[in-house]
Structure 1
């Protein structure tokens, strides 16, 4: 029904179920969708000569604290290339690398041997976990984000309130999207938003 509705409004061609989109492979099951980038990760590892590297079980060494580089800088261009490839994988199908990649992005303009070793560890971890994937079921997450606040707040409750406001905006956008889908049953039920801060909830209810 959806294809018939869209084809009545737009000029389109039905090419069947997608199996690759923007370097992301898609596997369709009866009630779930699995996405993965093992082919992309293999290509990245070969590009930077890490396909035959030793394997590690975690993307970051928690016992080592990354510090600003005070010695001679190493290849910034190559480091930036690796970071770019890792960021794409992290954004698409590998959120398990999100913290480690975000941490290393801070040192792109002034990196040293320590940072190179840390980024090499992520490549070794990706080699070990190339076949990892994301599986979306009917009730799985469709949006997630982990990022730093873009402005300075004086109180924790203010930071919590800003995060709550961002969640409300996203929920409102998704609700409007559902309303636009004519085949979706109406009326749309209210979207529940949860917050673990009593002070923030009190501020929101004012």
Structure 2
């Protein structure tokens, strides 16, 4: 803590209240909010310790914790209202009404459903890497292109390549159409070459032409989980390894 008693140098401080700036703060806060939600009947999900769910006879209330921000949603309006009231009694909080922006994600409610996109994030990405005025393209990768790990000239600054690919990985949250291309280019993060950078820039050119793309969650109650998988044979030119992949979709049975 930066303080030592001259009379008792062997003493240590017992922290009675975690303050902002201390390493223990996030853990202490999470412990507080998790304890409160658990006592309120919520259960933490095994896949995500920040996601709490309360289900009762088909009704659902969901709380997502991100540092000291909470997203509260679900179809149980009475439980959501009660949770907000209980939270305001236990903690000092400010309600920001309907969610519109969260960590670069944009949420738009329409008559068709909920539309998620990262349009501003994508524009900032193009601006950051000086691609705002680039020529757009209709596909994220060239047809039948084969990337190799050791062909091409070394990059003078590999850091930019890693930052670019990392930023594109985050963009795939609402842009599954670039997931394959970004996944391929992420294989060369350790030692990227000039052809790899050119391929990543092509992804940015595609993003520019599809800047308003996103995910639309349609209104509806009847959904089913549908899965697809595929594989190639020795598709990796460097290792001769095969590549497998799978996709899962929530399909509206009404539209089938």
> TM (normalized to structure 1)?
0.64
Match of 1:99 among 156, 176, 180: 180
How many Å separate the matches in 2 of 1:63 and 1:57? 15
Instruction: Spell out, residue by residue over 1:132-164, the C-alpha distance to the aligned partner (whole angstroms, 9 max, x if none).
Output: 12101235689x999x9xxxxxxxxxx9xxx9x
Deviates more, 1:131-140 or 1:49-58: 131-140
Q: Which residue of 2 aligns with 1:194?
A: none
Question: What is the match of residue 197 of structure 2?
Answer: 116
Which structure would you say has the larger Rg?
A: 2
Q: What is the match of residue 212 of structure 2?
A: 131
Q: Unaligned 5+ residue runs, structure 1?
A: 149-158, 168-206
Q: Which has the higher strand share?
A: 2
Once superposed, which parts of structure 1, at least 4 consecutive aligned residues long, lie more than 4 Å away? 139-142
> How big is the alpha-carbon RMSD for the aligned residues of Structure 1 and Structure 2?
3.0
Match 2:170 to one of 85, 88, 96: 88
User: How many pairs were matched up?
Assistant: 150
Q: Greater relative contact order: 1 or 2 (C-alpha under 8 angstroms, separation 6 or more)? A: 1
Return the structure number with greater helix share. 1
**Is residue 51 of structure 1 aligned with residue 132 of structure 2?**
yes
In 2 relative to 1, CA 145–47 (structure 1 residues): closer, same or farther, beyond 3 Å?
A: farther
Unaligned runs of 5+ in 2: 1-77, 232-243, 249-256
Residue deviations 1:69-103 (CA, integer Å, cap 9, x gap): 2454212100001011100001x211111000000
Q: State the Cα deviation string for residues 177-200 of structure 1 (Å, max 9, x = none).
A: xxxxxxxxxxxxxxxxxxxxxxxx
